[in-house]
C-alpha cells in the first residue's frame, strides 16, 4: 500500500517521504480501514519539524486523523462490519471515563492515517455521522473531540445563553464555535485577520475581534458582553494569552487550556481567575466515548465541519505547507 513516512529525527518537510508497505491484516478484535481522507492538525506540523514533545524514533506514518470504510474485520470484532464508515480515535485507546493514563496517539508514536490502510483495535474506532463526507469526518478525531471535550465534557458544560470565546480561526476553534452555537450559546471569535473574522461571522460567530489590531482584546470582549464576560474560552494561545483570557471570563467562567501558539512561558496574572471563581481546565483531546457523543450531536444538529482546503495524496507536502502558512479558516484535508 502507498503511505507517507516521517523519518527518524525529522526537522523539515524533506523528512516526509513516499513509501510502500505491505497491506496490513486485522488481528483479533482489530479493524482494517481503507482510509479515504485525513486532516492536518498543528501537532502534525510540529512533528514534521521536530518540535513535538514525542520525538519520531522510527519511520512513522503521520497524521492522527483519518476517515474511511471498514475493509475487513478480525476475529471477535463486535462493534463494526465490513463497509461501515468510520474514523480512528486520536488515542489508542482511551475508551471512556476521565483520563487515567498517557495513551499512545496515532501519528506518533503510533503509525497514523496518511496511508491507504490502517489497522486499529475496534475500541479505538467510531462510526462517523452519516451526514458527513469522508473529508468532513476526517476533521474530527483531534480538533473536533478536543473542542467537544473542552465545551461539553470537562468541567462545566456550555448552556443555552452562555457566551463562548474562541481564540483564532483554526481547526479546534472553529469546531468549538460550531458546537457552541448548536448548544444555544453565543460565540465570539478572535483572529489576526479581518477577512477570517468575516468568514467566522458568516459561519455562526456573533462578533469578531482582531487580536493584532486590538492587542488588549480582553477589553473588547468585556465591552461586547456588556461587562458580563464569557463563560467558556477555547484557549489555544497558552502562556502568551492566558492573562487576557482570565480577564475575559465572567464569574464562574471556565478557560479550557488547549494549545500554546502564543508561547509556552510568560508572566501570567492568575488573580482575575481567582477573584471571579473561574476555573482553568487542561484538555488532552478526548476518549472514544466522547467522539461517539460528539458524532451524535453533529448528526442531530446537522453541523458541517469547515473544510478549508483539500489536497490529493500526491500533494501531501503542499497540505503541510498550507497548514504552516495559516491562510485558511477551519481544516486542511488530504484525500487518499
Between β-strands 65-73 and 30-39, what pairing exists: parallel, antiparallel or unpaired?
A: antiparallel
Least separation in angstroms between residue 152's CB and ligand NAP is: 14
CB-based contacts of 63, cutoff 8 Å, min separation 6: 38, 39, 40, 44, 106, 107, 112, 113, 114, 334
Three-state DSSP state, 232: strand
- CB closer to ligand NAP, 116 vs 287: 287
Least separation in angstroms between residue 209's CB and ligand NAP is: 10
Per the listing, cell 510568560 goes with 266
Least separation in angstroms between residue 260's CB and ligand NAP is: 5
Binding residues for ligand NAP, rule: CB under 6 A, are 41-43, 142-143, 146, 167-172, 190-193, 196, 211, 236-237, 240-241, 258-262, 283-285, 323, 326
Least separation in angstroms between residue 25's CB and ligand NAP is: 31
Alpha helices in the chain (DSSP H): 42-48, 134-137, 145-148, 171-182, 194-202, 217-224, 239-248, 271-275, 288-300, 316-325
- CB closer to ligand NAP, 259 vs 305: 259
Least separation in angstroms between residue 289's CB and ligand NAP is: 16
Least separation in angstroms between residue 294's CB and ligand NAP is: 14
Least separation in angstroms between residue 171's CB and ligand NAP is: 4
- Report the alpha-carbon distance of residue 137 to residue 317 in Å, rounded: 21
- Per-residue HEC secondary structure of 66-118 comes to EEEEEEEECCCCCCCCCCCEEEECCECCCCCCCCCCCCCEECCCECCCCECEE
- CB closer to ligand NAP, 73 vs 236: 236
Residues paired with 73 in a beta bridge: 31
- CB closer to ligand NAP, 60 vs 193: 193
C-alpha cell at 60: 512513522
- CB closer to ligand NAP, 117 vs 328: 328
- CB closer to ligand NAP, 34 vs 309: 309
- Strands (E) in the chain, as ranges, are 2-6, 16-20, 30-39, 65-73, 85-88, 117-121, 125-127, 163-167, 186-191, 207-210, 230-235, 249-257, 279-282, 307-312, 331-335
Per the listing, cell 462545566 goes with 156
Three-state DSSP state, 15: helix
- CB closer to ligand NAP, 129 vs 170: 170
- CB closer to ligand NAP, 193 vs 231: 193
Interhelix angle 239-248/217-224, rounded to 10 degrees, is 30
Least separation in angstroms between residue 32's CB and ligand NAP is: 27
Q: Which residue is nearest to ligand NAP (CB)?
A: 170
Amino acid at each position: 500500500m502507498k503511505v507517507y513516512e516521517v523519518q527518524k529525527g525529522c526537522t523539515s518537510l524533506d523528512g516526509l517521504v513516499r513509501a510502500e508497505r505491505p497491506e496490513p491484516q486485522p488481528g483479533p478484535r482489530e479493524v482494517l480501514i481503507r482510509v479515504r481522507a485525513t486532516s492536518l492538525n498543528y501537532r502534525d506540523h510540529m512533528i514534521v519539524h521536530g518540535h513535538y514533545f514525542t520525538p519520531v524514533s522510527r519511520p512513522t506514518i503521520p497524521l492522527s486523523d483519518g476517515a474511511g470504510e471498514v475493509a475487513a474485520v478480525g476475529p471477535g470484532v463486535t462493534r463494526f462490519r465490513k463497509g461501515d464508515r468510520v474514523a480512528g480515535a486520536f488515542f489508542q485507546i482511551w475508551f471512556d471515563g476521565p483520563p487515567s493514563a498517557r495513551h499512545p496517539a496515532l501519528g506518533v508514536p503510533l503509525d497514523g492515517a496518511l496511508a491507504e490502510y490502517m489497522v486499529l483495535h475496534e475500541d479505538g474506532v467510531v462510526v462517523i455521522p452519516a451526514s458527513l463526507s469522508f473529508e468532513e469526518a476526517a476533521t474530527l478525531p483531534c480538533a473536533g473531540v478536543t473542542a467537544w471535550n473542552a465545551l461539553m465534557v470537562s468541567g462545566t458544560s456550555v448552556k443555552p445563553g452562555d457566551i463562548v470565546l474562541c481564540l483564532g480561526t483554526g481547526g479546534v476553534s472553529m469546531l468549538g464555535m460550531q458546537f457552541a452555537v448548536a448548544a444555544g450559546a453565543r460565540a465570539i471569535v478572535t483572529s489576526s485577520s479581518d477577512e477570517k473574522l468575516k468568514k467566522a461571522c458568516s459561519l455562526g460567530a456573533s462578533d469578531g475581534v482582531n487580536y493584532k489590531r486590538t492587542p488588549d482584546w480582553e477589553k473588547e470582549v468585556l465591552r461586547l458582553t456588556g461587562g458580563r464576560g464569557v463563560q467558556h474560552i477555547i484557549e489555544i494561545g497558552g502562556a502568551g494569552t492566558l492573562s487576557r483570557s482570565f480577564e475575559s471570563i465572567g464569574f464562574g467562567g471556565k478557560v479550557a487550556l488547549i494549545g500554546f501558539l502564543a508561547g509556552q512561558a510568560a508572566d501570567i496574572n492568575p488573580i482575575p481567575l481567582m477573584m471571579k471563581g473561574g476555573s482553568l481546565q487542561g484538555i488532552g483531546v478526548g476518549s472514544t466515548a466522547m467522539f461517539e457523543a460528539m458524532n451524535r450531536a453533529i448528526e442531530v444538529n446537522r453541523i458541517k465541519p469547515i473544510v478549508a482546503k483539500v489536497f490529493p495524496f500526491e500533494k501531501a507536502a503542499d497540505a503541510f505547507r498550507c497548514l504552516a502558512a495559516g491562510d485558511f479558516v477551519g481544516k486542511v484535508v488530504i484525500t487518499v
